[in-house]
Structure 1
Amino acid sequence: MNGSIIIPIAVLVIIFASVTTIVASYFKLQRHRADAAALAEYRGLAERVTAQQETMSAQLAELGDRVKAVEKLLQSVG
């Protein structure tokens, strides 16, 4: 009698553990997908910021050249 009760309980415990593992894995996968989407968004943002920094650097270099030209003009006049 005692052995006939243990087997169904063991089967139920195994089924419950399996369902719990599947549900936990599903939510972990969903969290991973959300993290991957956020990471892709941050990567795009970083690329845009890098492009803008390069543009600003080029503009600053051009401005520096213009300032040098104006200084040279002022020195030649003065």
Structure 2
Amino acid sequence: MNGGLIAIVITLIVVGGISLSTVAYFTLQRHRADAVAMAGYRKLAEEAVANQAALNAELKDLSARLASVEALLRTVDE
């Protein structure tokens, strides 16, 4: 009886270790996939910031041009 119990306990320990290793492996793979996705989102966010900065610069340029056109129209109107 004692030998059978020891065999069952050893088998359960081995199966538990294999199960734990498998779960840990797939959890690691999921985290790696999440990290790749986050890197893509980070790159997209950096591109959005760069595009926004370019749009702000263009808007400032257009505002300056509009101000000069308004000034010209005011001198012609007088």
Give the TM-score taking structure 2 as reference length: 0.97
Matched residues in 1 for 2:58 and 2:20: separation? 56
**Please, which runs of 5 or more residues in structure 2 have no aligned partner?**
none
In 1: Cα distance, 2:70 partner to 2:9 partner = 89
Q: Structure 1: where are the runs of 5+ without partners?
A: none
Detail structure 1 runs of 4+ shifted over 4 Å in the superposition.
Answer: none
In structure 1, how many angstroms separate the alpha carbons of the residues matched to 2:25 and 2:5? 30
**Superposition deviation, residue 17 in structure 1:** 0.4
Taking the TM superposition and a 5 Å limit, the aligned residue runs for 1:46-61 are 46-61=45-60
Matches of 2:40 and 2:63, distance apart in 1 = 34
CA distance in 1, matches of 2:35, 2:3: 49
Q: Distance in 1 between matches of 2:68 and 2:40?
A: 42
TM-score (norm. length: structure 1): 0.97
